Chains A and B, each alone.
Chain A
């Protein structure tokens, strides 16, 4: 499975934008880029996913580099409820659907 690299932790101020980076230099052409987040003592929550083009939804935006070797999850205005561990995962499952979680980025949001 192609691997991803994320910073262990990041800090943000409330109501400011947050850019969470993810490197995936060994991504293959059919790998989707998925982002999930996990709040303490809860199951992961789907955030967004994409293949080549940038994606927007009500939670976040996903910016994908042209060579697809990196991507950035953008939270436009961080709130205290956005404090969580954010996981960037490549779906290289060959249609099995398996997601392999790395260590993710722990986002702290300061009031």
Chain B
């Protein structure tokens, strides 16, 4: 199957700092990627849609100035959590759409565990 990677897999930072998370599609090009957040014992919550060459589309309630998304190429999207606070500690997961015939399939990265002290 298609492979999506994330880097780093785990990060610990101090409150007030910014953290960048990378999402790469390794063996296919993805014009669209998605960013999700997952708190313990909860389901995934879609944060935003990242489109190559255009601005990201954020879901309701997600602060675009706090969660900066850049989709610089067909294989890379980055999420920057700016001025991180302890409540931003979560499991961040990206996904990328791979076209296959008439349908799209989303492939997910392994996730990035962010802990803000």
Task: Name A's B-contacting residues (CB within 8 A).
Answer: 32, 36, 38, 41-46, 49, 87, 91, 96-104
Contacts and interface: CB of A to CB of B under 8 A. Distances in A.
Given A96-B49, A97-B97, A98-B49, A43 B110 contact: yes
If over half of B's interface residues share one DSSP class (helix, strand or loop), that class is named, otherwise mixed; here it is strand
B108 A45 contact: yes
Contacts of B91: 41
A49 B105 contact: yes
Interface residues of B, number: 26
A43 B46 contact: no
B103 A32 contact: yes
B32 interface: yes
15 contacts: A36-B108, A43-B4, A43-B95, A43-B108, A43-B110, A44-B44, A44-B108, A46-B1, A91-B104, A98-B34, A99-B34, A99-B106, A100-B46, A102-B43, A104-B43
Given A42-B111, A43-B109, A44-B93, A97 B104 contact: yes
A47 B1 CA distance: 11
Nearest to A104: B43
